[in-house]
Amino acid sequence: MRILLVEDSARVAETVGAGLRERGLQVHVAGGVRAADEAYAAQHFDVAVVDIGLPDGSGLDWCRAARRAGSQLPILLLTAQNGVSDRVAGLDAGADDYLGKPFSVDELAARVRALARRGPRWTGSVRTFGAVVVDRDRRTVTVGGARVALTARELDIVTLLAWRDGRVATRDEILEAVWGEASERAASSLDVLVARIRRKLGELGVHDAVRTLRSTGYAWAIERSKRD
């Protein structure tokens, strides 16, 4: 599990980062808003832990901007202000959770794991990629209005990838989300289902919809329509 820790205090970042790593989490530290933007654009993260007070902006503003851009990344805000109004402001900004300082690393790690299990927040049921429309609630994928005959698991894979906004989903992430296990049997099925998804979309004129990153995972390769 990869965590983006946005914290400007080197001492706090070192302590918290070390504590999370000791608990089996991978941590990338960004010292401010700009560094967080650069890291998020370049890498996949499962959860962001963001301090509100940053040297080049506010963690609240970073959270709002991420949500306006359509990001589904689970976000936990950290702050020294722990009043009710402060928690409400954080949640209103689009955060999924809020933790006041001081806090124990054990509690932070538990909250991070809970957010990762919950997965990305879904802020809309339909996404459009040119002629391809993925409707999460109706569980349909259409190309130019023609429905693609996908199985339940194929639909789960397409939906997961489509909501990643082009970011890579690792093989283990897909297996856990779709099969509930990262077994060898499920891994073999994943490759077969991805090949079938490509074939079915290709029959309707949509080629190279799913990109393979060897030994890593898959990514949705069709650009999302701006009107979404």
Contact 60, 93 (CB under 8 A): yes
User: What is the domain-level CATH number for residue 48?
Assistant: 3.40.50.2300
Q: Does any domain span residue 225?
A: no
Last residue of a domain, one of 118, 139, 170: 118
Q: Let me know whether 113 and 213 are in one domain.
A: no
Cβ neighbours, 10 Å, residue 205: 10
Q: Which residues partner with 171 through β-bridges?
A: none
Residue 226 resides in a domain: no
- Answer whether residue 158 is part of any domain: yes
Per the listing, tokens 């890579």 go with: 168
Q: Three-state SS for 112? A: helix
pLDDT at residue number 144: 92
15 inside domain: yes
Q: In whole angstroms, give the CA distance from residue 59 to residue 80.
A: 12
In this structure, the answer to whether residues 113 and 211 fall within a common structural domain is no
213 and 175 share one domain: yes
pLDDT of residue 5: 97
Residues 89 and 58 in one domain: yes
pLDDT in tens, the chain (228 residues): 889 999 999 999 999 999 999 999 999 999 999 999 988 877 778 899 999 989 999 999 999 888 877 677 899 999 877 666 767 788 888 888 888 888 999 999 999 998 887 766 555 678 899 999 998 878 899 999 999 999 999 999 999 999 887 888 888 888 888 888 878 888 889 999 999 999 999 999 999 899 998 878 999 999 887 555
Tokens matching residue 129 = 């990629």
What percent helix, strand, coil does the chain show, rounded to 5? 40, 25, 35
- Reported as type and span, the H/E element at residue 30 is strand 26-30
| pLDDT confidence of residue 54 | 92
